[in-house]
Structure 1
Amino acid sequence: MASHLKVFAGSSHPELAKAICSKLKIKLSELLVSKFACGEIYAKPVETVRGDDVFIVQTGTGNVNEDLIELFIVLDSMKRSFARSVHVVVPYYPYARQDRVASPREPISAKLVAKLIEAAGADHVITVQIHSEQQQGFFSFPIDHLNARKLFAECLGKKKLKNPVIVAPDAGAAKDADRLARLLGTTIAVMSKVRPNFNQAEITSLVGDVKGRDCVIFDDMIDTAGSVCAAFKTLKAHGAKDVYVAATHAVFSGPAVERMNKTGFKSVIVTDTIPVNKKIKNLEILSVAPMLAGVIKNVHEGKSVTQVIGGRP
C-alpha cells in the first residue's frame, strides 16, 4: 500500500507551511501544540500518521530554543505514532554559525543540534543555505541542502542593473557570490572583514572594480546588519552607483531594522525561510515555498530532487 504524504507546521512559521501545502495541492495536517501551566510544551498529530511520509516544517526564529524543543517533541510524537518516515524541513538551520571551535573551550553547537534532531527521531532533513556546506557531515544520514541563488538571479535579472557586480562581504561568501555572478553573467568583488566585537564588523579591504557600477552585496543571512551596512559604506566610498543587498535568511535581530533603514539600500532582497520583519525599507521577499514543495513531492515519490533545484552553474 502506498504511503500518504502529510505536512505539519510547527509554531515557528505556519505561513510557509501553508504556502508549501498550497503548491502541493494538499491540506496542512493538524498538529496540536500547547503548553502546560509550568511552561512545558505538549505536541502531537491530531490525525493518524501510521505508515505515512511525514514532513514537519519548523524553522529557526528569534525564539530559537523554544523552536528546537518543540521540534524534538513533535519528532518523538511522530515516531511513536508509527509514521513510515519523518522528514524535518528546517529552512533556516538553528545554531549554524557555531560550526567550529574558533577559540578555546567553545562548543560545536551546530553538530549538537544535528545529533539532537537525529536522536528525536528524524530520518531526513531538508534545509536552505546552511552557513557552511561541511555541516552536512554533522548528520549520519544524507540531507537535502538547497540554495536560493536561482531565485535571486531571476529577481536581479529583471532589474536591468547597470554593469552589475556581485559583492562578497567577506572571503567566506566569495564562493556563493561567484556562483550567483555566473548565473547573471557578471563578475565579483570580495571584501575582507574583521569583527572587533560581537555583532560589529569593519571592512578592511576591497578587491574588485565597483566604480560606477550597480553592486549587489550577497550573503547567506542578515542578522544585526553590521556587515552589510559596513559593506555599503565601503562600496559608496569606492564610487559604486546603486547598492542592493540580497540574503537568504532575514534574521534582522537587534539593531538591524534601524541600521538598514538608515543606510539607503536601493533594494533589500530576502527569502521567507524565516518570518520577515516588514519594517525594512525597499524590502522584496522571495518565497522558497515552490522550491520546498517540489523537493518534498520528489522525496515522497522517490525521485531526484536535482531536477527541482538544478545543479550548480
Structure 2
Amino acid sequence: MSHPEPEAKIFACSQSVYLAEKIAKAYGIPLGKVTMSHYSDGEFQPSYEESIRGLRVFIVCSTFPTADNLMEMLLMIDAAKRASARHITAVIPYFGWARQDRKDKPRVPIGAKLVANLLDAAGATRVMTMDLHADQIQGFFEKPVDHLFASTIFLPYVKSLGLKNLTIASPDMGGSKRAYAYSKFLESDVVICYKQRKEANVIDTMELIGEVQGRNVILVDDMIDTGGTLAKAADLMIEKGALS
C-alpha cells in the first residue's frame, strides 16, 4: 500500500516573517514555529518547535547584508537536516552577494559562488529565488534552482496602463536582457544606459544608448541599493526629452 506524500511546512527567518506569513496563508497552512535564542556576544541559535521528520520544509529568508541573515538561513537549513526533514527548499527572495558573480578585477572573490557552496554544504536540496542579478548564478549550484521572475506580475500591470509611445529602459548594460524581455512582451522600444563607476555606489559617467525624445519611459532594474543609478538614469531620460 502506498503512503500519502508527506505534508509541507513553511518556516521563516526573523527578517522574512511577514512575507512567509503571506506565503503560508496563500498555501493554506499556518507558518511553522521557530524560536531564536540570542547570546550576549551576538551568537544566535534557531530551534524548530514542531516535528519536521520526513517532511518537505520550505525556509523563507532573504540573505541581504548583514551576513547575519545568510548565517541564519544556513543554521535553519542545518537544523532542518539534523531534524530529519525529507526535503529542504531554501526560498531566497533577495539573493545576497549576487553582484559578485564574476572576477571583474584581480584579487576579488566570487561571492555568489561562495554563497551557493555554503547553501549546498548546509544541506539545502533545492533553491528558489527570483530576479537574480546575473542568470549564470544558477550554474553555481549543484542542486536544482527555481529562478522566478517578478515580470509575471509587473508586465500585465504595465500593459493595463495603456501608455502611448512606451520605451523600456535598462539603467545599465547588465540589465539589457531583462529590458529586452519586457519590451518584447509590451511591443515597445528599448534604450540602455551605459555607466562607469569610480567605486561602489559612486557613478562616474552615464550615457544613453537610444532615443527617448517624446517617449514614456519605464526603468527596469533588479535591485536598488542607494537608488543612485535609477535617479541618475531618470535625470538623464528627462534631460534627453522623455515625457515621463
Q: What TM-score results when the alignment is normalised by the length of structure 1? A: 0.75
| Aligned partner of 2:83 among 81, 84, 87 | 81
* Paired residue total: 241
Identity over the aligned pairs, expressed in percent?
37
The one-letter code of the counterpart of 1:92 is: Y
1:159-185 CA-partner distances (Å, limit 9, x unpaired): 222211000112211110010111112
**Counterparts of 1:55-134 in structure 2 under 5 Å?**
55-61=58-64, 63-134=65-136
Q: Could you list the runs of 5+ residues in structure 1 that have no partner in the other structure?
A: 243-313
Alpha-carbon distance in structure 2 between the residues aligned to 1:46 and 1:213: 55
Q: CA separation of 1:9/1:232 partners in 2, compared to 1, >3 Å: closer, same or farther?
A: same
Q: Name which structure has the greater RCO, CA cutoff 8 Å, separation 6+.
A: 1
**Contact between 1:101 and 1:108, CA under 8 Å: does it hold in 2?**
yes
Corresponding position of 1:135: 137
| Aligned partner of 1:25 among 25, 28, 42 | 28
Alpha-carbon distance in structure 2 between the residues aligned to 1:65 and 1:39: 12
The one-letter code of the counterpart of 2:17 is: P
**Contact between 1:12 and 1:59, CA under 8 Å: does it hold in 2?**
yes
| DSSP 3-state at the match of 1:39 | coil
Corresponding position of 1:206: 208
**Contact between 2:125 and 2:144, CA under 8 Å: does it hold in 1?**
no
**Contact between 1:202 and 1:230, CA under 8 Å: does it hold in 2?**
no
The one-letter code of the counterpart of 2:6 is: S
Corresponding position of 1:164: 166
Alpha-carbon distance in structure 1 between the residues aligned to 2:192 and 2:241: 15
Alpha-carbon distance in structure 1 between the residues aligned to 2:115 and 2:66: 11
**Contact between 1:115 and 1:139, CA under 8 Å: does it hold in 2?**
yes
**Contact between 2:63 and 2:73, CA under 8 Å: does it hold in 1?**
no
Alpha-carbon distance in structure 2 between the residues aligned to 1:230 and 1:134: 27
| Aligned partner of 1:14 among 14, 17, 30 | 17
Matched, 1:39 2:42: yes
| DSSP 3-state at the match of 2:15 | coil
| Aligned partner of 2:237 among 235, 238, 252 | 235
Alpha-carbon distance in structure 2 between the residues aligned to 1:41 and 1:127: 25
**Contact between 1:210 and 1:235, CA under 8 Å: does it hold in 2?**
yes
Alpha-carbon distance in structure 2 between the residues aligned to 1:241 and 1:202: 26
| DSSP 3-state at the match of 2:181 | helix
The one-letter code of the counterpart of 2:33 is: E
Please identify, of 144-153 and 78-87, the stretch whose mean Cα deviation from structure 2 is larger: 144-153
Shift of 1:204: 3.5
Corresponding position of 2:153: 151
Corresponding position of 2:219: 217
Q: Which has the larger radius of gyration?
A: 2
Shift of 1:202: 4.3
What is the root-mean-square deviation of aligned Cα atoms in Å? 1.2
Shift of 1:205: 2.3
Corresponding position of 1:298: none
In the TM superposition, structure 1's runs of 4+ consecutive aligned residues that sit over 4 Å from their partners are: none
